[in-house]
């Protein structure tokens, strides 16, 4: 007996332990159930419930086996236990496998749970954002719309109110938008009229080639301060200072072009007039110098020729020769005098006069001949124009020159319109002479006031008519401008300022 | 119409006769294997090993996922370790039980009065104390209970589960 140990403590622990295992395992199941109820969607809690149930099954199968064994053996039914034992052991083995198998699912379950929680958080966040947007969207939209409207109105004001031309084109150069200044300058009354018809290529008068220009802009991204000529609806050529930029879509692709242009036609014209005035002033100085130098020897030639003629019988050859010398000397003298008039060195006798009277006088001289030549003269004289302080004879010469030029510009029948008017705001008197003749080619337009410039055949004109007129008008502090369309005719506009000094000088 | 021609008939007849000879050979049937007594114990012990392996993996996952930082999960993790110890214990007892002879159980009257002869040396000692396996599995189950209770209380306090 000394080398043996009692098995009673073993069985006692076995019985009590088995009972405790069953009880504790069911409490575990209860807690797992409670845990799951806190959040039924949590797969981890579901997993723990399954694990607890499997362990409870394991505890029951094992503990019932142990207790049954003890009780059956105690009751002397070892034969029954022998029958039950294989089943108890097998079921016990199966419960191990079930618990183990469930345990192996933990990682997968955990991953699913992580994903679910992550998705849940994302959905909750999105839901919160949606709720917030739902509450504030209307206000946000209203606020943004107001801001947008304000901004749109601001830029629309700048766009529409700009004195410069602002244009928007698509990739093909078709007009998408243009401001009011652009419409006015191009001579269109409505936007739709322009947008449906004209393109950038229609607008630009080459060079530069409009297509090539747009390609260059597309490559460089912009083109700055390009001086180009543009044709308006009436066919007038304007000069614009143009800047072009590409407009890009949100994806970075070129969507079209935006352009700002300044109409510098008037400035260019003024610059040209200034240049012409400078040139003519230089020519005037030169002409005056030459005229003075030529005038004295010419006077001597004419004087001595006349002296010789007195003593020479009329029928001699010498008399005839002297007469020819006298005639040409007189022609030269006339030219010299004209040159002096152009150079404004000729004597001026200013007095108070009515321009309308001067115009009527000149017309009365030429009217008969013009009627015979089928050229009609129409007048539109403003009787309210004030009196001028001017040299009447010289002004008549100017009007006569202009009328003769107008007549010569016409082949066959034609019409000449002479008009006078008074611009009270500018305080100036204008005289307009318009003809329906052949017009002046643009190439020679800037040369017509140059001395000795003429388009007539040699011997038919000296080319001093307009030069002299220019000189006379300048002498009266006036301006002479010409507008001409080849094939349609020319219009000369003379303006005389009514300065106070001039008036006082006369009175 | 199985046999189509004379030559084919001969071949099929040879195969058929060989098959009849083979299945009528007077030997034990090869298709069925018998399962004598130790296999049940071995299957049970293998189930213990499987249980050990799965619990070890579960313990490792609880560590790597960081869940063991929370008290409830840590208690469950310790519970798993206790269950592993219990499995090792029962595995050892089953193994020794397999090697012990019936003579080592000394029965004197009632079943309660049985004693264990300690003639098996260390195996007898291991067997005797290993039989107190409930001293391992009951605490393991208690730790599981405490772990679940802790998780429940924590979930109840937080309102929403925070475990990832």
From the list B40, B106, B117, which residue is nearest A90 (CB)?
B40
Question: Model pTM?
Answer: 0.46
Distance in Å, alpha carbon of A30 to nearest chain B alpha carbon? 9
Q: What's the CA gap between B63 and B77, in Å, rounded?
A: 8
Phi, psi (5° rounding) for residue A317? Answer: -65, -35
What is the per-residue pLDDT for A278? 77
pLDDT at B161 over 50: no
Distance CA A251, CA A169 (A): 18
pLDDT at A328 > cutoff 80: yes
Tokens of A395: 């002004």
Half-sphere exposure of A88 (CA within 13 A, CB side): 16
Which of B42, B46, B51 is the best residue to mutate to test the A interface, defined by the most A CB atoms within 10 Å of its own CB?
A: B51
Nearest CB to B117 within list A3, A32, A45: A3
Beta carbons of A96 and B115 less than 8 Å apart? no
Choice between A487 and A432, residue whose per-residue pLDDT is larger: A432
Q: Where are the alpha helices (DSSP H) in A39-105?
A: 43-74, 78-104
pLDDT at A33 over 50: yes
**Residues of chain A with C-beta less than 8 angstroms from the C-beta of B132:** 9-10, 13
Work out the percent of chain A whose per-residue pLDDT is above 70: 96
Given this model, what pLDDT does residue A160 score? 85
Give me the pLDDT at residue B3, please.
Answer: 45
Pairing of β A375-380 and β A414-423: parallel
| Cβ contacts of B154 within 8 Å, gap of 6 or more | B70, B71, B72
Mean pLDDT of chain A: 86
pLDDT score of A1: 45
ipTM over cut 0.90: no
Cα separation, A176 vs A256, in Å, equals 9
Q: What is the pLDDT of residues A334-344, one digit of tens each?
A: 888 877 776 66
Residue B38: closest C-alpha in chain A: A86
What pLDDT, in 10s, does the model give residues B94-143?
888 877 766 666 665 556 677 888 887 888 888 889 999 999 999 999 99
In this complex, do A7 and B51 lie within 8 Å of one another by their Cβ atoms? no
> Using CA atoms, how far apart are residues A61 and A90, in angstroms rounded to an integer?
10
Q: Prior bond to A208 cis, omega within 30?
A: yes
Contact (CB<8Å) A10/B131: yes
User: Average pLDDT of chain B?
Assistant: 81
Tens digit of each residue's pLDDT (9 = 90 or more) over B23-71: 676 555 555 556 666 777 888 889 999 999 999 999 999 999 899 999 9
Query: Which tens digit of pLDDT belongs to each residue from A369-414?
Result: 888 888 999 999 998 888 888 888 889 889 988 998 898 888 888 9
Token pair 């291991």 is at which residue? Answer: B126
Say if the Cβ atoms of B112 and A74 lie within 8 Å: yes
**A232 Cβ neighbours under 8 A, 6+ residues apart:** A185, A186, A187, A238
Residue A187 C-beta-side C-alpha neighbours within 13 Å: 11
- Minimal Cα distance from A85: which residue of B? B40
Query: pLDDT (tens digit, 9 = 90+) per residue, A196-241?
Result: 777 878 888 876 777 777 788 888 888 888 888 888 888 888 899 9
DSSP string, A462-473: -S-HHHHHHHHH
Using a CB-CB cut-off of 8 Å, the residues of chain B touching A101 are: 54
- Residue recorded with tokens 């108070």: A352
Q: What CA–CA distance (Å, rounded) separates B119 from A90?
A: 31
Distance of CA A37 to the CA centre of its chain: 70
């Amino acid at each position: 007996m000394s080398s043996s140990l009692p098995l009673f403590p073993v069985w006692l622990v076995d019985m009590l332990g088995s009972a405790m295992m069953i009880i504790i395992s069911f409490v575990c199941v209860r807690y797992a159930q409670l845990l799951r109820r806190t959040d039924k969607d949590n797969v981890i809690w579901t997993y723990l419930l399954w694990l607890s149930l499997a362990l409870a099954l394991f505890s029951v199968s094992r503990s019932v086996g142990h207790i049954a064994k003890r009780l059956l053996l105690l009751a002397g039914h070892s034969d029954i236990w022998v029958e039950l034992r294989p089943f108890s052991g097998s079921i016990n083995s199966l419960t191990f496998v079930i618990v183990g198998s469930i345990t192996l699912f933990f990682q997968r379950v955990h991953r699913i749970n992580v994903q679910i929680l992550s998705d849940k958080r994302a959905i909750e966040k999105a839901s919160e954002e949606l709720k917030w947007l739902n509450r504030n969207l209307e206000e946000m939209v209203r606020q943004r719309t107001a801001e947008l409207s304000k901004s749109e109105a601001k830029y629309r004001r700048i766009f529409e109110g700009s004195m410069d031309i602002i244009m928007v084109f698509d990739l093909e150069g078709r007009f998408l938008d243009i401001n009011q200044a652009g419409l006015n300058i191009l001579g269109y009354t409505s936007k739709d009229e322009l947008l449906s018809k004209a393109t950038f290529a229609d607008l630009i008068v080459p060079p530069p080639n409009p297509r090539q220009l747009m390609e260059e802009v597309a490559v460089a991204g912009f083109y700055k301060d390009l001086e180009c000529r543009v044709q308006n609806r009436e066919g007038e050529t304007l000069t614009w200072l143009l800047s072009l930029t590409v407009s890009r879509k949100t994806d970075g692709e070129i969507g079209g072009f935006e352009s700002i242009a300044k109409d510098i036609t008037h400035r260019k014209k003024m610059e040209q007039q200034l240049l012409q005035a400078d040139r003519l002033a230089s020519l005037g100085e030169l002409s005056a110098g030459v005229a003075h130098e030529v005038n004295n020897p010419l006077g001597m030639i004419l004087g001595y020729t006349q002296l010789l003629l007195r003593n020479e019988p009329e029928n001699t050859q010498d008399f005839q020769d002297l007469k020819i010398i006298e005639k040409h000397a007189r022609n030269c003298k006339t030219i010299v005098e004209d040159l002096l008039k152009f150079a404004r060195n000729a004597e001026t006798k200013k007095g108070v006069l009515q321009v309308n009277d001067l115009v009527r006088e000149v017309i009365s001289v030429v009217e008969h001949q013009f009627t015979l030549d089928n050229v009609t003269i129409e007048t539109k004289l403003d009787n309210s124009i004030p009196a001028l302080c001017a040299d009447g004879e010289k002004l008549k010469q100017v009007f006569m020159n202009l009328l003769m030029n107008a007549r010569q510009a016409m082949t066959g029948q034609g019409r000449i319109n002479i008009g006078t008017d008074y611009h009270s705001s500018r305080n100036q008197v204008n005289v307009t002479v318009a003809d329906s003749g052949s017009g002046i080619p643009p190439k020679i337009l800037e040369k017509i006031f140059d001395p000795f410039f003429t388009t007539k055949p040699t011997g038919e004109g000296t080319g001093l008519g307009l030069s002299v007129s220019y000189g006379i008008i300048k002498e009266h502090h006036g301006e002479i401008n010409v507008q001409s369309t080849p094939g349609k005719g020319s219009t000369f506009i003379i303006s005389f300022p009514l300065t106070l000094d001039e008036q006082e000088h006369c009175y | 119409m199985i046999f189509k021609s004379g030559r084919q008939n001969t071949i099929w007849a040879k195969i058929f006769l060989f098959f009849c000879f083979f299945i009528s050979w007077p030997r034990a049937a090869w298709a069925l294997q018998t399962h004598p007594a130790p296999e049940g114990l071995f299957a049970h012990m293998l189930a213990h090993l499987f249980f050990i392996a799965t619990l070890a993996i579960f313990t490792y996952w609880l560590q790597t996922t960081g869940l063991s930082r929370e008290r409830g999960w840590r208690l469950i993790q310790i519970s798993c370790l206790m269950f592993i110890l219990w499995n090792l214990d029962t595995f050892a007892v089953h193994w020794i039980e397999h090697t012990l002879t019936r003579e080592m159980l000394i029965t004197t009257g009632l079943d309660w009065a049985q004693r264990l002869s300690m003639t098996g040396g260390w195996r007898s000692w291991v067997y005797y104390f290993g039989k107190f396996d409930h001293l391992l599995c009951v605490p393991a189950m208690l730790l599981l209970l405490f772990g679940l209770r802790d998780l429940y209380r924590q979930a109840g306090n937080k309102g929403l589960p925070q475990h990832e």
